[in-house]
Amino acid sequence: MTGSGSVRVWSATEATDLLSAPTVDLDLGALRDVPVLVINDADRLTAGTTAVLDGLPLVSVGIAPVGTAPALDVLVADPDAAAAVVDGVMANPMAAVTCCQVLRHGDGMSTDGGLLLESTAFGTLQGGPEFARWLDGRGRRARPGEPDPPVLVDASGDVVRLTLNRPRLRNAWSAAMRDALVEALRPLTVPGDDRPVHLTGAGSAFCCGGDPAEFGTVDNSATAHLIRSSGNAASWLDRLAPRLTVTVQGPAVGSGVELAAFAGRIEATAAATFRLPEVSMGLIPGAGGTVSVPRRIGRQRTAWLCLTGTTIDVATALDWGLVDTFLD
């Protein structure tokens, strides 16, 4: 398997025998140095075998046609595609396994329940060694004060227009931007207000993801979890989803993808791209993406985006259902 070194590819028969052993939990998993299991012809696995996989702390990668093995975490077409997933898992196994556990068990959860699960897992990883390593490699940053409001609000017409407004920083998602967006969204949920809401970003990008200068700045991950779970813009976007249109005119990265995916309608230009890089930072999506993105493209494709960090273009996003309309 190109690029994945010693990781073995199991046949469906071998995997069934392996997963049928009563000691399977003692042999497999991130803490057993086996954070990923690659299975060829995964569509031949029995329901009992996939049920065992569901409870193991590892990433299950199936090589099989699309749609044939829904219980696995990721489904790919060939060994080379599996290798790209394996490389992502091996680089940050704690984050990778946690990401797939959240996607696996959050499937079908309510929005509030899914956001709580995501935030708890995100906070746990903030205290882990993989995120610490990423922080050390990134170095500390600081931002000067910004005179312009982080979100522009135009509620003067029949459509409420909201604009993420840090164009110099490609609309990096900050605490101030989050708070300003929540402040703008909150009154729009009042009964009787049925105006359409349109969200876009100023400049060349919709949102390049979380502001790197703010990662790791909260004193402890428990406090960060409480801030995230009480002040997240995701729940407000979800409430307004039937009335909400998002226009993505350039890169949407991390939280930019996650928040946009809550909208009932996403429009995108030819310059739009989409990427979820959090696992490479030792984290998982933390702005609601484990809830919003799988609802649009399914958890297997979401996991693939997270584990490989691949950037997809607007054509792929449209084909998958991450985007609803292409804007010429």
pLDDT digits over 3-46, tens only? Answer: 444 688 999 999 999 999 999 999 999 999 999 999 999 999 98
Residue 235, in any domain of the structure: yes
Residue 146's pLDDT band (cuts 50, 70, 90): confident
Distance CA 278, CA 308 (A): 10
Handedness of CA 223, 229, 234, 240 (dihedral sign): negative
- Each residue's pLDDT tens digit, 111-124: 999 999 999 999 99
pLDDT of residue 214: 78
Do residue 165 and residue 87 come from a single domain?
no
Do 265 and 245 meet the contact criterion of CB atoms below 8 Å apart? Answer: yes
Residue 18, in any domain of the structure: yes
Do residue 152 and residue 19 come from a single domain?
no
Do residue 191 and residue 290 come from a single domain?
yes
Q: Domain range holding 72?
A: 9-91
At 76, give phi and psi (nearest 5°): -130, 170
Do residue 26 and residue 142 come from a single domain?
no
Distance CA 79, CA 324 (A): 31
Q: DSSP letter at 58? A: S
pLDDT at 274 over 90: yes
Q: Strands 273-275 and 312-313: what pairing?
A: antiparallel
pLDDT at 2 over 90: no
And the tokens for 249?
Answer: 């005119």
Do residue 122 and residue 244 come from a single domain?
yes
CATH of the domain at 195: 3.90.226.10
pTM over 0.95: no
pLDDT at 191 over 70: yes
Residue 184, in any domain of the structure: yes
Residue 106, in any domain of the structure: no
pLDDT at 132 over 70: yes
| Beta strand spans in 140-211 (E) | 151-154, 160-164, 197-201
Do residue 29 and residue 167 come from a single domain?
no
pLDDT at 251 over 80: yes
Do residue 82 and residue 154 come from a single domain?
no
Question: Residue 208's closest CA among 161, 259, 162, 160?
Answer: 259
Distance CA 296, CA 73 (A): 16
Number of other residues whose CB lies within 10 A of the CB of residue 3:
13
Q: Strands 59-63 and 265-269: what pairing?
A: unpaired
Residue 166, in any domain of the structure: yes
Residue 96, in any domain of the structure: no
Residue 231's pLDDT band (cuts 50, 70, 90): confident
pLDDT of residue 217: 67
And the tokens for 179?
Answer: 């708070």
Q: DSSP letter at 278? A: G
Ranking 13-22, 62-71, 134-143, 158-167 by mean pLDDT, the lowest is 134-143
Do residue 261 and residue 117 come from a single domain?
yes
Question: What is the average per-residue pLDDT within 271-296?
Answer: 97
Do residue 115 and residue 66 come from a single domain?
no
